[in-house]
A and B are shown apart, each in its own frame.
Chain A
């Protein structure tokens, strides 16, 4: 009796084990090996964490059609990047994601060496026959949180903890202050570059310095949750960056701008499997789900939530663009003419600060 049962189970098990192999055999396909090169470690709770979530979404969605390899701590630049990308290609990965701006040169070089491997580079601008880029419109999220800060800041002075003076960061800063000044024309944004994406103690110290100097809102473009945690202790409202940071600021983190790479990773892998992949430069925003605004904190008044939703929905349906002119730069000269909405090329090269930013190089 027992033996019979066991045999039955064994047979069942074998049949089950054979199942996933069958479609593959039937279509003569192998698993698609997908490689990820990470800037840092998934435990940063910021940039790399968000990419790791995306990689996990991919593995979950496509199941046994893909095999995902992750390489941590590849770094922002240096010979290591090239080595990692080349090794991934040599190991038979047919789709490789290079997940930070600094990987661009290496991705261009290695993709030329492996024409049958598809590369995608995050936030870059160089492409090739087998090299595409992908990016998210982070500035759309900044416009939403800037609106909230404009409504809720009593002093009208916010601190912006920034990493490096690259267009992506300048764009985010500008979007934030433009949105805030639409609500409060006297709004001022103080910005500081820390020369790092991740240094919790320094990010916390910068947040403390901003607060000591009279900022009553803190926002960050660096990756650790340290500023949010500090703001929670000091009772200063703030916003989460890259991942949902509400756990660190249950009462003060008003919302987080979450990078949502999963949909792009799934879409790309499916296109590669189907053989329909072509190099492209998608720049997904709130509309395509490349970027998600987490639910507002209960401390955000209903009318402010409504105003933030107007900005959010306007960007989703395309009726509102934060960089539509007239805009002046911080010295008062014309930056964008009235009624003009700049194209993406203009945005991606942005290095001018708009009116209302007290920056600091």
Chain B
């Protein structure tokens, strides 16, 4: 195995891992605040089509990504209004958001079928970013560096800031947080909007970085992988980072094993496709064995909050 080939594999892993890391970080914050938003896939699709449409119309992928974040956040506000203000069932509403996102993005994307935009690659200038060796550090899209920065940012926010403590309190014990005067609903709205924006950016990574095209159902279920990832990571940002790269490695290994032939290619492709979910189930089993019944999930996850006073 040559060094260039190893770098090509690392490069591929990073590209696959980054969007699920972005979406997973958003969902992690949402779930830490006690809300379960299963609409990640739908928000990603809305982000993907918005990012593509804006980039195609105005020529700026930066603007496209910003628009994708805003579109994702807007979509998440529909979910927020239904589940936080009207206290609708979070699971059902999240699933509805996924279906809505699929349909809406298909409709909005009709005019953009068959078009391409320049790929949103390379933050750093060309000799550095295209160097066969150094591209492993400097050759990525700005969104890759953004995903890593956000991981550090979210970890710091949750662990070391007062606002992060309040957010965790809201997710662990909504009544206590409410009784000492914090707005549970307000905090959750903010978390849901953040999750939507991150899912939107993750979606735009598909339509601007990985495959700069628009096609219906472009994200092909990656939103569900991001949801599984949050559980896999036991709601810890750095473990989420490791998990995203592990999932990315599995998915990259799959395509390379198939291209190379040999031992790994003996595994059926259905098994490869199921691996991320299998890994999540195994981790869940390990967690529950270790904690002997105590859940690591935020205590108020998925529970509607209706203050009586």
Q: Which of A331-361 contact B (CB under 8 A)?
A: 358-361
Task: Give the residue among A194, A201, A210, A361 with the most B Cβ atoms within 10 A.
Answer: A201
A212 within 8 A of B: yes
Q: Which of A40-84 contact B (CB under 8 A)?
A: 40-41, 43-45
A196 touching B256, Cβ below 8 Å? no
Of the residues B106, B211, B269, B270, contact of A204 by C-beta under 8 Å: B211
B255 touching A202, Cβ below 8 Å? yes
A229 within 8 A of B: yes
B109 touching A43, Cβ below 8 Å? yes
Of the residues A212, A215, A224, A359, contact of B256 by C-beta under 8 Å: A212
A191 closest partner in B (C-beta): B258
A205 within 8 A of B: yes
Of the residues B215, B221, B260, B270, contact of A213 by C-beta under 8 Å: B260
Q: Which of B212-257 contact A (CB under 8 A)?
A: 212-213, 215-222, 251-252, 255-256
Of the residues A40, A193, A201, A232, contact of B16 by C-beta under 8 Å: A201
Of the residues A41, A202, A210, contact of B259 by C-beta under 8 Å: A210
* Smallest beta-carbon distance B265→chain A, Å: 4
B12 within 8 A of A: yes
Cβ proximity bits B97-122 to A, threshold 8 Å, 1 near / 0 not: 00000000010011001111001000
Chain A positions near chain B (C-beta within 8 angstroms): 40-41, 43-45, 159, 190, 192-196, 198-206, 208-210, 212-213, 215, 224-226, 229-230, 232-233, 247-248, 358-361
Query: Within the assembled complex, what's the spacing in Å between the Cα atoms of A45 and B114?
Result: 7
A209 touching B16, Cβ below 8 Å? no
* Smallest beta-carbon distance A270→chain B, Å: 30
A201 touching B269, Cβ below 8 Å? no
B217 touching A41, Cβ below 8 Å? yes
B252 closest partner in A (C-beta): A205
* Smallest beta-carbon distance A209→chain B, Å: 4
* Smallest beta-carbon distance A235→chain B, Å: 13
B212 touching A202, Cβ below 8 Å? no
B220 touching A202, Cβ below 8 Å? yes
User: If A205-B16, A205-B252, A233-B119 touch, does A44 touch B215 (CB 8 Å cutoff)?
Assistant: yes
B109 touching A226, Cβ below 8 Å? no
* Smallest beta-carbon distance A177→chain B, Å: 15
Given A41-B106, A196-B273, 16 more A-B residue pairs with CB atoms under 8 Å apart are: A41-B216, A43-B110, A43-B215, A45-B215, A192-B255, A200-B218, A201-B206, A202-B251, A204-B211, A205-B251, A209-B259, A210-B259, A229-B213, A230-B211, A247-B116, A360-B261
Q: Which of B79-133 contact A (CB under 8 A)?
A: 106, 109-110, 113-116, 119
Task: Give the residue among B12, B116, B268 with the most A Cβ atoms within 10 A.
Answer: B116
User: If A43-B113, A192-B259, A200-B206 touch, does A208 touch B12 (CB 8 Å cutoff)?
Assistant: yes
Q: Can you list 9 A-B pairs, Cβ within 8 angstroms, ordered by A?
A: A43-B106, A192-B269, A202-B255, A203-B211, A205-B16, A206-B258, A209-B259, A215-B259, A358-B261
User: If A206-B255, A361-B268 touch, does A201 touch B220 (CB 8 Å cutoff)?
Assistant: yes
B58 within 8 A of A: no
Could you say which residues of chain B place their CB within 8 Å of the CB of A358? 261
A225 touching B215, Cβ below 8 Å? yes
A201 touching B210, Cβ below 8 Å? yes
Query: Within the assembled complex, what's the spacing in Å between the Cα atoms of A194 and B213?
Result: 20
B213 touching A205, Cβ below 8 Å? no
Q: How many residues of B contact A (CB 8 A)?
A: 42
B258 touching A192, Cβ below 8 Å? yes
* Smallest beta-carbon distance A341→chain B, Å: 31
A247 touching B114, Cβ below 8 Å? yes
Could you say which residues of chain A place their CB within 8 Å of the CB of B119? 233
B8 within 8 A of A: yes
Could you say which residues of chain B place their CB within 8 Å of the CB of A196? 220, 273
Query: Within the assembled complex, what's the spacing in Å between the Cα atoms of A258 and B216?
Result: 20
Could you say which residues of chain B place their CB within 8 Å of the CB of A247? 114-116
User: If A196-B220, A201-B220, A229-B116 touch, does A190 touch B215 (CB 8 Å cutoff)?
Assistant: no
Task: Give the residue among B9, B113, B114, B251 with the most A Cβ atoms within 10 A.
Answer: B114
Of the residues B216, B251, B256, contact of A43 by C-beta under 8 Å: B216
Query: Within the assembled complex, what's the spacing in Å between the Cα atoms of A192 and B221?
Result: 20
B248 closest partner in A (C-beta): A205
B12 touching A205, Cβ below 8 Å? yes
Shortest Cβ-Cβ A-B pairs, 4 listed: A192-B258, A43-B216, A209-B255, A212-B8
* Smallest beta-carbon distance B254→chain A, Å: 8
* Smallest beta-carbon distance A213→chain B, Å: 5
B266 closest partner in A (C-beta): A361
B269 touching A193, Cβ below 8 Å? yes
Task: Give the residue among B109, B259, B272, B273 with the most A Cβ atoms within 10 A.
Answer: B259
Could you say which residues of chain B place their CB within 8 Å of the CB of A210? 259
B265 closest partner in A (C-beta): A360
A190 touching B259, Cβ below 8 Å? yes
A359 closest partner in B (C-beta): B261
B113 closest partner in A (C-beta): A43
User: If A45-B114, A205-B16 touch, does A200 touch B211 (CB 8 Å cutoff)?
Assistant: yes
Query: Within the assembled complex, what's the spacing in Å between the Cα atoms of A204 and B213?
Result: 11
Query: Within the assembled complex, what's the spacing in Å between the Cα atoms of A233 and B119?
Result: 9
Query: Within the assembled complex, what's the spacing in Å between the Cα atoms of A361 and B216?
Result: 28
User: If A192-B258, A212-B5, A358-B261 touch, does A201 touch B12 (CB 8 Å cutoff)?
Assistant: no
Could you say which residues of chain A place their CB within 8 Å of the CB of B8? 208, 212
B212 touching A229, Cβ below 8 Å? yes
A250 closest partner in B (C-beta): B116
Query: Within the assembled complex, what's the spacing in Å between the Cα atoms of A232 and B12?
Result: 17
A361 touching B265, Cβ below 8 Å? yes
A194 closest partner in B (C-beta): B269
